[in-house]
Amino acid sequence: MKRAELEILYFLSKCGTHNTATDIYHQLMMNRGHISQAVDSLCRKNYLIAIPDKNDRRCIHYEIADFAKELVTEMTNRREAMNSMILKGVSEEELKVFWAVSEKIRNNINELI
């Protein structure tokens, strides 16, 4: 499985109702073409279910299929284990500062794009 596919699956497991290709684009800042290819591939492999929006035919919502939920759980567990190793010794206050600065940088990048 390609990295983009894994990133999209992980994002969709956490995003709630923000589950369209546009939402993926804004959050993950991936190339739209890569998103389209990855989502199509995941749908063909039955990892994702494409659901047309009730109010806008042009909009498609994506949900993780039951078939893929075990994979997403394993991916989440591994990611959390890796994060705990990386963030070892970092306090909650330091993390808050880090995330605040990261958000400012991300906003600056979005303004430039």
* Predicted pLDDT at 57: 85
Neighbours of 4 (CB within 10 A): 19
Tell the burial category of 56 from Cβ atoms under 10 Å away from its Cβ (0-12, 13-18, 19+): exposed
Q: Which domain range does residue 90 map to? A: 3-112
- pTM of structure: 0.79
Give the pLDDT score at 43: 96
Below-50 pLDDT ranges, the chain: none
Total domains present in the chain? 1
Q: Coil, strand, or helix at residue 61? A: strand
CATH number of the domain where residue 87 is located: 1.10.10.10
